[in-house]
Structure 1
């Protein structure tokens, strides 16, 4: 139950005057369903108008407010032409008022020989001045044109004027809230109270201090929620898991541990030996050896008499993990099982029974592993791979699968800039593998125009003839798995004509699981030379003999995705190459992305640039994870304000009495305001 002070803000938009079902439906397209959504639907620009008695050459290109007297109307000769109303200003100049639709409205609004107030952009068209689709009002009736008008993001059917009115209604409903910002910080930044800042941000999107304060509020709520989550986790008592090295000592590894792996394994081992459950984020670039670290962490759990679970974002990756673990651990007597949406009937029941009676030591799977009917005898460690595909709520679901909270290790091969680590994983300790295993050489990356596609195919032919294997990733045609699959199917058809049906395989998201598995197994075994795919092979696929990656339509992919795809090659001893095939025209952003890919293999540098180009929501995969991204705070706000907000939130918990103190009660309101109470499941009113 939310504090009463916020009830008006969380009311449905239909409670506002003049908002019926039809308007509410239009607002929903902008993700506006409640008054508070309107409150934080801030303008992104502003129109400055100048009130003048008459037009002049110096005003061309500016938004003007004029008193005009219409004297002639010229209707279009065909249905397609514009309606023109000629009007004179105070100096007798003629201005053409142009309408490309609704001539009836123009006639009604601009009666001949009657003065009207007209506003719009004055333009030069040949020898005449014109205003296209001007706003019109009658002197002394209705609201006059505003000199400075904020411009809102809109959808068809909602005008800027209507949105401005609705925003004004939401600001009117906004109560005065208690201050949650530490007083000396608010004074130093000269931040106004919350309600005044909201009102100012709607009046002027260039009001830097007001917008910065609202961004800070959101980031502060985020940081406080994460610290509360960490505090709660620290209060829980887990089960200390002390490894014996009985299993790890028998592991046959392909190479010696890197120094970074030894350091990280030591940090994880130290965490798992404590009664406080581990909460650790493991970052490592593509191919840095995170899976080996996870394997040893799971073996520590098994050595200590507990079970471990490994959650993967896709079925392809889950099955690859299962096959790898089975191969490595089969001789050690460790029982590994898999559970995905594909396991049905007896196979599924067998896994569920094995988990419940403790005969299964390690479970690998997709989301299926934390479904309601899945019960573990003694879950001691949960490992989440490719963490950016999941959200906080899914982390908590997996953690609730044990009688006492299990240790939690989350991994990502998508390097996350420090700022985003702070805002998304602030409740966690962070380990970073910043060293590559020996023998891995950087992948050579080249950018090639699609005009040279025939040369690329010829080069692929030479590569295959020499015994090599290759990936061919098809472009993101649009945000649709269907169209991506169609592009992959067509590319596979053309390559089969060139190389033969038996040499080319195809994998995309619409294929059934067993069908995908069969193709992947054939590619891994070397039976297939060229694997045509969509981005389903973005993570986890490991075929050392595949040393050529071709990415078609590369300008349509984000930096992190390109880096992940490139990481599918360079996994063996042979020299690897990534060809980025680009279209004929590139935006500046696309050109910068491709240039950086050619320049560096450093995933952390790529991540920092990706943050700058695309923003935090894209990088963190909030669309996939279901986590709500920031509504107000922009990338630059997060970078500048997250460390300050974390310190302020820590100060509240350590010095100012937490949520029970005076400032804490205000901070509780802030958590509700941004709905961070739902994310942590800890805050209760009263």
Structure 2
């Protein structure tokens, strides 16, 4: 059976089973759907068409006895000569002594190996066929490790396919397969592993890419269907008139994009279905005011709202801003962080539990066991990629199945929105408030640092502040610290008594970092040198210069995030990239940073230049590790797969229709497997 352990196959003992497990292969089904990443062309080539050092298949007749020479227990050399067309070729096999008996005089053989044109010889890698056997046209090449050899894996796949290939059931509904000319799963497995022609291999790969994307999207849609179910939701009948009164007190007009996303979020909140929405907007696009409006909406319906942020400094800034915003409204705002202790903490916890507090702002402290809510209806998570799935879930479970709004200032290309956030609805603020000045970005080489110092001196003379960043390389904090300390000393020396310079690095304790950030926010320090990425969202309106050393070591999205730390006040702001890029990609990244301030353009370009896994960093993004498809290169297929998965769950959410039986079985098996992994 397909669900049987691979240990049921002949030749798979405990050790080999563990080796296969390390490749993600635990069952017969896993083995059959463990696909090759490329193919080697094994078709026989005429000798005159073979290039020097090419890997090629030659076919001929053995014309000398095979001579085996041993050099030790596991080292040997096998030599003989093969007549190929009108030429005689010397053939050598290393460490395959068992082949000697295959090469008797007069035997016809097809051998795959590496051709040496100068010596007119072939170093054999593989015997493909002997007398009257049909040699294959293409050979699959699989991702393996030191514990499993290619030939072992291929032999096991053949064994499994011959025994259980007829049990493979289609998971993609027939109507979709017909519409997009996709193979059945049985045909897919056969042609992926054993293609006879290039056309078969291409057709199989096309189907495999769609299948991988489609099944991933089906899992996301299934999760979304469960989360959005009315029994998991909360209807928040907010007071629309009260919202209008709040908006009327703002000292600026909302942008059209802000109005649109407020309407989208409020419609979700009023609906009985659970809200799981992502609000994305470029740096400075005004996400915080949107969050304030929708939190007030929940409060007008007698629910509590919670805003969770990654750092204490950011929590304090939000608390100060929101306390001021709600000063004339019946909203009690409180701040809860790790620094909140003693009687103050006890009072806040008591007032949260009794419902006296309407809006709580804090860090991870909001999800501690001792924190209980009276009627938590809306949870907002700022810089959501900084929090794990479990942390978000714990905060949600604190309330009455509250609605969830996640916010990010990292613009997300559609590729990532479809994969990483496919189970969420996405709202986008795609315009900046009127009057916000674009940040002037320049790129200089390291030998032009005097230009950077000129700009820094000019801005300090006007009473402004400066960020100076050196890159963080996880493998070598010691080098990073040296780099930062060197920059710190250089700037101290260059600026003299014109500025107080502070140093912030990854080896400091969190409270030390907070103290320095607060002092910088209060203009006690005018220049902040940092090895770590300055906390996203930290607001220092007086900072007008962002100096980034070795800027080519950062991705475009990271550079854009850093650039967004300045220009948050009314003054003109500048970003100076210092880099000597080593290649064309590095040069292109620096140039595009100087050409656009649009985070969405940069995020898409970053995806194209660096690949999906590095946009947020693998650990943060949750970007799935697709084995066959490339979300960037195969984006059209990804988009179609998502549309088809959505359509199925729109019309048949519980997959009860006969044509969805294969899908229902797949999801059931997948849940069982996930359960056993947990």
Q: How would you bin the TM-score normalised by the shorter chain?
A: 0.7 to 0.9
Task: Evaluate the alpha carbon distance shift between residue 629 and residue 451 of structure 1 in structure 2; reply closer, same or farther with a 3 A threshold.
Answer: same
Partner residue in 1 for 2:50: 58
Task: Evaluate the alpha carbon distance shift between residue 545 and residue 218 of structure 1 in structure 2; reply closer, same or farther with a 3 A threshold.
Answer: same
Coordinate RMSD, CA, aligned: 4.3
Deviation per CA, 1:463-513: give whole Å up to 9, x if none.
445543222222243566676556434533443454469732233444212
Deviation per CA, 1:210-238: give whole Å up to 9, x if none.
32442353244145325523641577343
State how many pairs are aligned: 658
Structure-to-structure mapping, 1:529-568, within 5 angstroms:
529-537=526-534, 539-568=536-565
Task: Evaluate the alpha carbon distance shift between residue 398 and residue 174 of structure 1 in structure 2; reply closer, same or farther with a 3 A threshold.
Answer: farther
**Candidates 154, 158, 162, aligned match of 2:152:** 162
Q: Tell me whether 240-249 or 508-517 shows the greater mean CA deviation.
A: 240-249
Using the TM superposition, give the Cα deviation of residue 312 of structure 1 relative to its aligned residue in structure 2, in angstroms.
Answer: 2.4
Contact 2:221 2:423 in 1 (8 A): no
**Candidates 407, 415, 419, aligned match of 1:411:** 407
State yes or no: 1:450 paired with 2:446: yes
Partner residue in 2 for 1:612: 608
CA distance in 1, matches of 2:89, 2:271: 83
**Candidates 122, 140, 143, aligned match of 1:153:** 143
State yes or no: 1:572 paired with 2:569: yes
Q: Tell me whether 370-379 or 59-68 shows the greater mean CA deviation.
A: 59-68
CA distance in 2, matches of 1:370, 1:395: 9
CA distance in 2, matches of 1:36, 1:355: 51
Deviation per CA, 1:570-608: give whole Å up to 9, x if none.
2122222222233341253x3433332222111222233
Deviation per CA, 1:265-307: give whole Å up to 9, x if none.
3443444344444443322111101011112222232343321
SS of 2:42's partner is strand
CA distance in 2, matches of 1:84, 1:165: 24
Using the TM superposition, give the Cα deviation of residue 549 of structure 1 relative to its aligned residue in structure 2, in angstroms.
Answer: 1.6
SS of 1:537's partner is coil
Normalised TM-score (structure 1):
0.81
**Candidates 295, 303, 306, aligned match of 2:303:** 306
CA distance in 2, matches of 1:333, 1:72: 95
Using the TM superposition, give the Cα deviation of residue 561 of structure 1 relative to its aligned residue in structure 2, in angstroms.
Answer: 1.8
**Candidates 646, 650, 659, aligned match of 1:663:** 659
**Candidates 42, 48, 51, aligned match of 2:41:** 48
SS of 2:540's partner is coil
CA distance in 1, matches of 2:36, 2:365: 42
Normalised TM-score (structure 2):
0.82
Contact 1:55 1:93 in 2 (8 A): no
CA distance in 2, matches of 1:483, 1:676: 46
CA distance in 2, matches of 1:645, 1:92: 53
Contact 1:219 1:638 in 2 (8 A): no
Partner residue in 2 for 1:102: none
SS of 2:533's partner is helix
Task: Evaluate the alpha carbon distance shift between residue 500 and residue 71 of structure 1 in structure 2; reply closer, same or farther with a 3 A threshold.
Answer: farther
CA distance in 1, matches of 2:36, 2:566: 45
Task: Evaluate the alpha carbon distance shift between residue 121 and residue 317 of structure 1 in structure 2; reply closer, same or farther with a 3 A threshold.
Answer: farther
Contact 2:2 2:28 in 1 (8 A): no
CA distance in 2, matches of 1:625, 1:372: 27
CA distance in 2, matches of 1:95, 1:148: 25
SS of 2:318's partner is helix
Partner residue in 2 for 1:203: 194
Task: Evaluate the alpha carbon distance shift between residue 653 and residue 440 of structure 1 in structure 2; reply closer, same or farther with a 3 A threshold.
Answer: closer
Task: Evaluate the alpha carbon distance shift between residue 485 and residue 251 of structure 1 in structure 2; reply closer, same or farther with a 3 A threshold.
Answer: farther
State yes or no: 1:228 paired with 2:225: yes
Partner residue in 2 for 1:284: 281
Using the TM superposition, give the Cα deviation of residue 382 of structure 1 relative to its aligned residue in structure 2, in angstroms.
Answer: 0.7
Contact 2:420 2:621 in 1 (8 A): no
Using the TM superposition, give the Cα deviation of residue 46 of structure 1 relative to its aligned residue in structure 2, in angstroms.
Answer: 1.2
Structure-to-structure mapping, 1:73-92, within 5 angstroms:
87-90=80-83
CA distance in 1, matches of 2:493, 2:233: 61
Contact 2:546 2:576 in 1 (8 A): yes
Using the TM superposition, give the Cα deviation of residue 194 of structure 1 relative to its aligned residue in structure 2, in angstroms.
Answer: 1.8
Contact 1:222 1:676 in 2 (8 A): no
Using the TM superposition, give the Cα deviation of residue 384 of structure 1 relative to its aligned residue in structure 2, in angstroms.
Answer: 1.7
Contact 1:218 1:630 in 2 (8 A): no
State yes or no: 1:183 paired with 2:174: yes
Task: Evaluate the alpha carbon distance shift between residue 419 and residue 594 of structure 1 in structure 2; reply closer, same or farther with a 3 A threshold.
Answer: same
State yes or no: 1:583 paired with 2:580: yes
Q: Tell me whether 468-477 or 634-643 shows the greater mean CA deviation.
A: 634-643
Using the TM superposition, give the Cα deviation of residue 539 of structure 1 relative to its aligned residue in structure 2, in angstroms.
Answer: 1.6
Task: Evaluate the alpha carbon distance shift between residue 467 and residue 167 of structure 1 in structure 2; reply closer, same or farther with a 3 A threshold.
Answer: farther
Task: Evaluate the alpha carbon distance shift between residue 432 and residue 112 of structure 1 in structure 2; reply closer, same or farther with a 3 A threshold.
Answer: closer
Query: What 5-or-longer segments of structure 1 have no aligned partner?
Result: 77-81, 100-104, 680-686
CA distance in 1, matches of 2:102, 2:259: 86
Partner residue in 2 for 1:421: 417
CA distance in 1, matches of 2:134, 2:368: 60
Task: Evaluate the alpha carbon distance shift between residue 636 and residue 330 of structure 1 in structure 2; reply closer, same or farther with a 3 A threshold.
Answer: same
CA distance in 2, matches of 1:129, 1:591: 45
Structure-to-structure mapping, 1:433-472, within 5 angstroms:
433-453=429-449, 455-457=451-453, 459-472=455-468
**Candidates 636, 650, 662, aligned match of 1:640:** 636
Higher relative contact order by CA 8 Å / sep ≥ 6: 1 or 2?
1
Using the TM superposition, give the Cα deviation of residue 157 of structure 1 relative to its aligned residue in structure 2, in angstroms.
Answer: 4.2
Query: What 5-or-longer segments of structure 2 have no aligned partner?
Result: 196-200
**Candidates 99, 119, 136, aligned match of 1:128:** 119
CA distance in 2, matches of 1:216, 1:500: 58
Task: Evaluate the alpha carbon distance shift between residue 137 and residue 149 of structure 1 in structure 2; reply closer, same or farther with a 3 A threshold.
Answer: closer
Task: Evaluate the alpha carbon distance shift between residue 494 and residue 233 of structure 1 in structure 2; reply closer, same or farther with a 3 A threshold.
Answer: farther
CA distance in 2, matches of 1:112, 1:15: 31
Using the TM superposition, give the Cα deviation of residue 197 of structure 1 relative to its aligned residue in structure 2, in angstroms.
Answer: 1.4
Contact 2:367 2:394 in 1 (8 A): yes
CA distance in 1, matches of 2:19, 2:553: 30
CA distance in 1, matches of 2:437, 2:92: 67
**Candidates 506, 512, 516, aligned match of 1:519:** 516
SS of 1:154's partner is coil
